[in-house]
Amino acid sequence: MANVAAKREISSAEGEELSREAKRAKGDDKNGEESGNEPEWENILSTFTTTSVLSDSAREKIMFLHGKMAGDEAVVVLEKTPVREDSLAELFRDSKLRLDMRNDIYSSYRLQAPPHLNEIKTTVVCPATEKHVKKYRRQESFLVEETGDDYRSVTLPYIQEQSLSLQWVYNILEKKAEAERVVYDDPDPEVGFVLLPDLKWDQKQVDDLYLIAIARQKDIKSLRDLSSEHLPLLHNIFHKGKAAILERYNLPASKLRVYLHYQPSYYHLHVHFTKLGHDAPGCGVERAHLLSDVIQNLQTDPQYYRTRTLWFPLRADDGLLGRFKEAGRL
């Protein structure tokens, strides 16, 4: 189950995922500082030659490299360290600055700090297997433009051919799995849904709250299938979902981001509830559609999502991207 479920969400927020991976190697062994002796400086990396950048995140200041170290395959992770409050005075005293830009009251500089105040956390996996390399490799994404016609001629046939199993969804709806995780259950066959925590959320704190509402209706694949006839269902999920989260987590609707994905990661209608202020993977404007907006658009135009052009990112290895290329749409 866990494996299938993990695949529910192959999202664009690789950075977060990856930095979590990077932490994995940390802290099991306290050979470093607690041994009493300052360890020797070494430069194991001087023998490292980079084959490729597997992935990186400019926002998180992290980079994953594949290469060779003394004949062995290796993965090297470089991650800048957070700015430290306890060394600010020393940083300001001992750094050099170069002016980049000045405009009105704003100016911007490049600051060169003493190396010991600005370390880079470096994790080495060596010898690394092909699995390590694959795990850290990022797939590029491309923004795809899909008209209503594209949906019917390219996307829909692809989805139908794939016919990916939704058994795990049905297991949840039928309480055959994850029953103990359900936060709210509305059994109505038309407007009912099951609300439960997303697997990405460890439920330890409300700061990164992430729940999913899964519709009981089985014939709605995605946003594209919605029309005004589904407004009662959408209203129900919106209002009862928010009420259930207020009751269980004491989090009011004004702190929630409620949205659908297009493309979704599985073709059974579901709605994401995440905490505002938490940059949940997949909450970007290129993939997320606010449920309140969806409702408003359907109220104005019952066929809005069947006729509109929609844009979404697809990873380079996504079969659907290949279909758009074949159709000359990229």
Judged by CB, which is closer to a second copy: 195, or 280? 280
Q: Measuring CA to CA, which residue among 249, 241, 255, 242 is closest to residue 204?
A: 249
Judged by CB, which is closer to a second copy: 232, or 311? 311
Select the span of 101-109, 152-160, 217-225, 233-241 touching a second copy (CB under 8 A).
Answer: 101-109
Question: How would you label 181-199 residue by residue, b for 16+ Cβ within 10 Å and e otherwise?
Answer: eebbbbeeeebbbbbbbbb
Judged by CB, which is closer to a second copy: 56, or 192? 56
Q: Measuring CA to CA, which residue among 262, 260, 265, 241 is closest to residue 252?
A: 241
| Residue 106 binds to a second copy (criterion: CB under 8 A) | yes
| Residue 130 binds to a second copy (criterion: CB under 8 A) | no
Q: Is 179 helix (H, G, I), strand (E, B) or coil?
A: helix
Hey, which residues between 151 and 170 contact a second copy (CB under 8 A)? Answer: 167-168
| Residue 133 binds to a second copy (criterion: CB under 8 A) | no
Among 90, 216, 290, 302, binds a second copy (CB under 8 A): 290
Judged by CB, which is closer to a second copy: 27, or 187? 27
Q: Is 235 a catalytic residue?
A: no
187 assigned to a ligand binding site: no
With contact defined as beta carbons under 8 Å apart, do 289 and 223 qualify?
A: yes
What are the phi and psi torsion angles at 235 (to 5°)?
Answer: -60, -45
| Residue 253 binds to a second copy (criterion: CB under 8 A) | yes
| Residue 29 binds to a second copy (criterion: CB under 8 A) | yes
203 assigned to a ligand binding site: no
| Residue 283 binds to a second copy (criterion: CB under 8 A) | yes
168 assigned to a ligand binding site: yes
| Residue 177 binds to a second copy (criterion: CB under 8 A) | yes
Give Cα 126 to chain centroid, integer Å: 28
Cis amide leading into 127 (omega within 30): yes
Name the amino acid, one letter, at 261: H
Beta carbons within 8 Å of 291's beta carbon, 6+ residues apart: 234, 237, 238, 258, 259, 260, 271
61 assigned to a ligand binding site: no
**What is the C-alpha to C-alpha distance for residues 193 and 170, in angstroms, rounded to an integer?**
12
Among 136, 151, 238, 259, binds a second copy (CB under 8 A): 259
| Residue 286 binds to a second copy (criterion: CB under 8 A) | yes
Query: Catalytic site residues?
Result: 270
Question: Which residues are annotated as part of the binding site for substrate?
Answer: 168, 178, 198, 200, 261-272
Question: Which residues are annotated as part of the binding site?
Answer: 168, 178, 198, 200, 261-272
